[in-house]
Structure 1
Amino acid sequence: MTRASGVVAAIPSHALIVLFLQVGVLLLLAMVLGRLAVRCGMPPVAGELTAGVVVGPSLLAHIAPGPGGWLFPQEPSQMHLLDSLGQLGIILMLGFTGMHLDLKLLRRKGARAARISASGLVLPLALGVWLGFLLPAKLRAPGADATVFALFVGVAMCVSAVPVIARTLLDMRLIHRDVGQMIVIAGTVDDAVGWLLVSLITAMGTTGLHTGDVSLALARMALLLVFTATIGRAVVGMAMRAAARAATPGLPAVTAVVLMLLGAAGAGALQFEPVFGAFLCGIVIGTAKSVDTRALSPLNTTVMTVLAPLFFATAGLRMDLTALADPQVALWGLVVFGLAVFGKFLGAFVGGLTSRMTRWESLALGAGMNARGVIEVIIAMVGVRIGLLTVEMYSIVVLVAVLTSLMAPPLLRLAMNRVELTAEEAMRKTRMLTHQDTADGVRDAVGDGSPSPLPEPSGPVLHS
């Protein structure tokens, strides 16, 4: 007779109740504070992060330690339940980001975008690595390799956040301007390279920093990229075509989720960051000619209105702003913020000047690409997960992400008021207004900070 003693026990009832309450409280606060942030002219991610800060160690744990400790106990098993939901959301979000990467536009303006992106990447990356070696050991997690930590700080300082940038440009009615298009194109390249670097650093943090291990990581990266471009592309195309032909409601969305999760699992198995695998899978889905991404819009809405805000609220939950009361931590936080802004701004500015853009256009370019937003928050969470960042350093990196996103609108306004509208830009604006469906699609896409599928309008109108 078979015994049932080997059956895995279910989640304890108390843990399940606490999880439901955690998700409900975080989502409610994220929704309310996210809307409040938008009304105040800030990106919604600022409010969603604040939701976690309010109920986390920065506030609730101090003013009401009893209820705070019961609702958000610092127990690994309970936190892992909550983290798993947030990780699902961010994997799907990065999949959608890759899905709506406009490769045609990248090819059309690739030369100029490459120069601007290279300049906007190399300088802040170099400054970040240099700063990473200077930062005190108390900002580095115990046991973390100093070189891997420095490389991670460099990558965190060199990325941009295309979703936040696109939202800002649309709100300011600058998406039709040449500078607006170039900001998004260069930012997209920066993000793609940034995820490549994050995945390599994740592999180094997992296996250690040795010449053989680094070479092996590069070989695995090449294998992943080649597999994605060949076998992966063929498998994804067949799966999405079969889902579309089945005429079963929701099947394309389910298929896309399965593919992105498999892509994340594959990248993780190769010791890279799982979100990078989902990002690559999204690119393949978006470039498949037979895929109608509009069928995935309901899934996109669910991810961006439920799962992604939950992730950012969970990210805020890990922040402890009281750590900034330490003068040394606060001083180094100011240094990190100052160098992050200086490096990205100057790099993009120089890239614009060397690409024959005017001084004010280059200034606008630097202001727009300086916004880190959601991408740097995700990278900060990666740093915690692989054991590189302390709570203090994590809080500093997330604050840099929020503050740089808040800086972008006023600086963009200052610069673009001095850039004359060209005849081509005026015609492009007219076309965008004429294609009202396209405009509505863009607005829906970035209203929550995410890319969205858009029909191809006539002329060189940018997909956001």
Structure 2
Amino acid sequence: MTLSAGPVPGLTDHQMLVFLLQLSLLISVAALLGRAAARFNMPPVVGELAAGVVLGPSVFGNVAPGLSHWLLPRDPEQMHLLNAVSQLGVLLLVAITGAHIDLGLLRRRRRAIGLVSAGSVLLPLALGVALGTLLPDSLMGGAGGHGTFALFIGVAVAVSALPVIAKTLLDMGLLHRNVGQMIIGAAAVSDIVGWLLLSIVSAMATHGLRAGVVATSVGCLLIVLAATVLVLRPLAARVLRPTRHAQQPGFSLSLIVIMILLSAAGTHALGMEPILGAFLCGIVVSSLGTASRGSLDSVRTFVMATLAPLFLAAAGLQVDLTTLAHPSVLLAAVITLAVAIGAKFAGGYLGARLGRLDRTESLAIGAGLNARGLVEIVLASVGLRLGVLNTASYTVVVLVAVVTSVMAPPILRRTTGRIAKTSAEVEREREFTAQLVV
């Protein structure tokens, strides 16, 4: 008997129409609000994040519910299409960021970056857990008990958003400054620790806390780091070497994008965020020289102008500010927001000062690491799915993500404007500009 697979059902005409209209609407509004933000001396990322909130249930869903339901339906298949495209954007964005990490600077200032990372994770984590134990039971989802809920709040307060921080620094021309490199390095460490802790919380919510779960999570992380150094870098060098003088530069870019996607798939298969794999692959590309980094930079304009704004706007669609009408939820949101901002800023600032950075640089680092953005929203979605959060606490965590992402850029602009450029920073910026021209 011969078995044959039937044809795979494709998208209906209606699904394709809605998908194309969604892309057009989100990119258009994100671009317009991004330009509006720039007019007020704020990076475009502020407007792009706001675009999703405006088009989501908080505004558009209330003003025109019928049109909103037709154009932005909550149908899982329709949302998966949008999420898939936006995920490609964030993976490329993070890879480009990783490709512009100055490894020499990170090695020279590893003590300061280590202290900043420790301060910006440990202090917020401790205060967040303490806050979680004090929040009322009405904000708990029920899964895992109060201890799991408290640890989840601690993780939510401790994380940073590498994608949002990356785009903010790129928009503001700060990625090639020393302070920008330190913020990115500390944010990367913060995200790694955050996803590791989230895996522990997930295990507590489903199976309870076991030593084996913690050991497996740490072991997977060590495997990823070892594979990056011992496997990915030598393999990438061998694959890309013949393309350096090729007449078709697009072939080199194709190979790099394939490596980024496979690296993201690898970390995802091990239970970690795909963003981590893309970021590490970007660092590998950077270590192979300016030619490889230049190939990846050839898509920077498209990513920054189209895919990244789409990613940010799509995330904002999940925000529903109408739930804050309940006084108890609003009070919890205000307290959580104050703790999240204060703990992250103080942790980053104190770590930078212990690392012998001056006051202005320390202020900039504390402000930059405060942005939580999409990482926090993904975290909140996981908490809601696991049953650790309910609708009210989910809204509180998402509010922290939005507010911290909006407030970080203006403070960064004010503080970094007082930091003089070094000759190394000028040379790094000149090299980056030259690559874009080529």
Q: Is the TM value for this pair above 0.5?
A: yes
Which of 174, 185, 194 is residue 198 of structure 1 equivalent to?
A: 194
Q: Which residue of 2 aligns with 1:221?
A: 221
The Cα offsets for residues 196-215 of structure 1, whole Å up to 9 and x where unpaired, read as: 12332453355544221221
Give % identity.
36
Letter of the aligned partner of 1:336 in structure 2? T
The CA distance in 2 between the partners of 1:242 and 1:270, in whole Å, is 31
Residues 415 and 97 (structure 1 numbering): CA distance in 2 closer, same or farther, change over 3 Å? closer
The Cα offsets for residues 160-186 of structure 1, whole Å up to 9 and x where unpaired, read as: 454366358758xxx99xxx73x4243
The CA distance in 1 between the partners of 2:272 and 2:128, in whole Å, is 21
2:182 paired with 1:186: yes
Residues 69 and 411 (structure 1 numbering): CA distance in 2 closer, same or farther, change over 3 Å? closer
1:361-376 equivalence runs, <5 A: 361=360, 364-365=363-364, 367-372=366-371, 375-376=372-373
2:283 paired with 1:287: no
The Cα offsets for residues 296-346 of structure 1, whole Å up to 9 and x where unpaired, read as: 223222222111111111111110011111111111111111111211222
The CA distance in 2 between the partners of 1:411 and 1:24, in whole Å, is 32
The CA distance in 1 between the partners of 2:222 and 2:379, in whole Å, is 22
Which of 149, 163, 166 is residue 163 of structure 1 equivalent to?
A: 166
Structure 2: give runs of 5+ residues left out of the alignment: none
Q: Which residue of 2 aligns with 1:462?
A: none
Residue pair 2:43, 2:168 contacting (<8 A) in 1 also: no
Residue pair 1:370, 1:404 contacting (<8 A) in 2 also: no
Residue pair 2:89, 2:307 contacting (<8 A) in 1 also: yes
Q: Which residue of 1 aligns with 2:396?
A: 396
Residues 236 and 198 (structure 1 numbering): CA distance in 2 closer, same or farther, change over 3 Å? farther
Q: SS at the partner of 1:292?
A: helix
Q: Which segment drifts farther, 49-58 or 319-328?
A: 49-58
Residue pair 2:120, 2:190 contacting (<8 A) in 1 also: no
Residue pair 1:117, 1:186 contacting (<8 A) in 2 also: no
The Cα offsets for residues 367-417 of structure 1, whole Å up to 9 and x where unpaired, read as: 533541xx5323422441462555544443443344334444665677679
The CA distance in 1 between the partners of 2:413 and 2:45, in whole Å, is 21
Residue pair 1:117, 1:187 contacting (<8 A) in 2 also: no
Q: Which residue of 2 aligns with 1:378?
A: 375
The CA distance in 2 between the partners of 1:261 and 1:129, in whole Å, is 35
Structure 1: give runs of 5+ residues left out of the alignment: 442-451, 456-464
Q: Which residue of 2 aligns with 1:255?
A: 255
Deviation of residue 29 (structure 1)?
A: 0.6
Q: Which segment drifts farther, 157-166 or 85-94?
A: 157-166
Residues 144 and 438 (structure 1 numbering): CA distance in 2 closer, same or farther, change over 3 Å? farther
Residue pair 1:240, 1:291 contacting (<8 A) in 2 also: no
The CA distance in 2 between the partners of 1:273 and 1:17, in whole Å, is 31
Deviation of residue 350 (structure 1)?
A: 2.4
Residue pair 2:30, 2:310 contacting (<8 A) in 1 also: yes
1:371-450 equivalence runs, <5 A: 371-372=370-371, 375-385=372-382, 387-388=385-386, 389-408=389-408, 411=411, 425=420, 428=423, 432=426, 437-438=430-431, 440=433
2:117 paired with 1:120: no
The aligned length equals 428
Q: Which residue of 2 aligns with 1:311?
A: 311
The CA distance in 1 between the partners of 2:253 and 2:145, in whole Å, is 41
The Cα offsets for residues 340-375 of structure 1, whole Å up to 9 and x where unpaired, read as: 1211222233234434455x4376246533541xx5
Q: SS at the partner of 1:130?
A: helix
Residue pair 2:57, 2:319 contacting (<8 A) in 1 also: yes
The CA distance in 2 between the partners of 1:193 and 1:47, in whole Å, is 27
The Cα offsets for residues 257-286 of structure 1, whole Å up to 9 and x where unpaired, read as: 111111111111111112111112222122
Deviation of residue 158 (structure 1)?
A: 3.0
Residues 299 and 353 (structure 1 numbering): CA distance in 2 closer, same or farther, change over 3 Å? closer
Residue pair 1:155, 1:194 contacting (<8 A) in 2 also: no
The CA distance in 1 between the partners of 2:118 and 2:137, in whole Å, is 30
The CA distance in 2 between the partners of 1:235 and 1:273, in whole Å, is 22
Letter of the aligned partner of 1:378 in structure 2? V
Residue pair 1:121, 1:158 contacting (<8 A) in 2 also: yes
Q: Which residue of 2 aligns with 1:350?
A: 350
Q: Which residue of 2 aligns with 1:210?
A: 210
The CA distance in 1 between the partners of 2:289 and 2:410, in whole Å, is 40
Please report the TM-score for the alignment, with normalisation by the length of structure 2. 0.85
The two structures, once aligned, show a CA RMSD in angstroms of 3.4
Q: Which residue of 2 aligns with 1:61?
A: 61
Residues 116 and 327 (structure 1 numbering): CA distance in 2 closer, same or farther, change over 3 Å? same
Residues 261 and 28 (structure 1 numbering): CA distance in 2 closer, same or farther, change over 3 Å? same
Residues 317 and 139 (structure 1 numbering): CA distance in 2 closer, same or farther, change over 3 Å? farther
The CA distance in 2 between the partners of 1:275 and 1:296, in whole Å, is 16
Residues 295 and 186 (structure 1 numbering): CA distance in 2 closer, same or farther, change over 3 Å? closer
Residues 352 and 197 (structure 1 numbering): CA distance in 2 closer, same or farther, change over 3 Å? closer
Residues 274 and 164 (structure 1 numbering): CA distance in 2 closer, same or farther, change over 3 Å? closer
Residue pair 1:145, 1:205 contacting (<8 A) in 2 also: no
